[in-house]
Amino acid sequence: MNEDADFRRFLHRFYEKEASKASQELTYMDSQHKKLLSIHLNNLTYIINKNSLCLDVGCAEGLYTRFMAIISNFVVGVDLSSEKIKKGKHKSKTSSINFIQADWNYLPFKDLTFDIALFSEGPEHSVEPLVTLKEIRRVLKAGGLLEASAPVEPFYRIIPTPFWNIGKQISRKMLNAARKAVFIGHLNEFTKESLKGIMQKSGFQIVKSTFDPFIDQLVDYPFRVEIEEHMKRRVFPYGVILAKKPNHLSQHLKG
């Protein structure tokens, strides 16, 4: 229990420090993030209307929160970092947005509150992504929609080959070395199938999914730090999933 509390405090300090660095908008200047931004904005434009009650989990400075508020009359942005929340409030020019500092696993809302939720680049940052997704499901109304995205591992992590186990072991060692060298807040790794799987396990029905094409997944995580430094841009392949909270959940998924 103490270790868990210590780790959460470490994460809080990390995100407060990150908030003092470059703005959220600047991270979306590279081609990979521009592509992700385009997918999210297109999907959100389609599913949100002016009466939608919207929730942006892991909102940071509110880039998506502000976009959602262009359409909806009521949007709430939630983030762990008080500094990011402060920046979000400063950048927000509309009364239809509320920013709240809160733990993703303990959202301070009643059951069945929201129509739409966004969890962009969130599952990889969550201490317990399954718990977080279930918590988002809890505060969504029956039939509510969740748009979630996360970096995905390249194709050869999920295709069995004679060299797969050897490659995985080498990759893991390099991954650990990369994490020791630089921590960017990623606590979880997902493949295309495992990202879909955790969405379904948390009680959502997948409506639509978009994943970066095959060629973008040729680059593995341990090499990305060096490549990003050289190319001056992010190269994560991303997966975006639009999912629905069913009107009726089976008993084993409740809670």
pTM of the model: 0.80
Q: Which of 243, 240, 124 is nearest to 179 (CA)?
A: 124
pLDDT for the residue numbered 164: 44
Query: What domains are defined for the chain?
Result: 2-155+188-219+235-253 (3.40.50.150)
Pair 97, 62: CB distance under 8 Å: yes
pLDDT for the residue numbered 129: 95
Q: Which residues pair with 140 in a beta bridge?
A: 114
Please report the beta strands in the chain, taking only residues with DSSP state E, as ranges in sequence order. Answer: 53-57, 74-79, 97-101, 114-119, 140-151, 205-211, 238-244
pLDDT for the residue numbered 188: 85
pLDDT tens over the chain, length 255 residues: 555 667 677 776 776 776 566 566 555 555 667 788 889 999 999 999 999 999 999 999 999 999 999 999 999 999 988 889 999 999 998 899 999 999 999 999 999 999 999 999 999 989 899 999 999 999 999 999 999 999 887 655 555 544 445 444 544 555 455 445 456 677 888 888 999 999 999 999 999 999 876 555 555 544 555 555 554 545 567 899 999 999 875 544 444
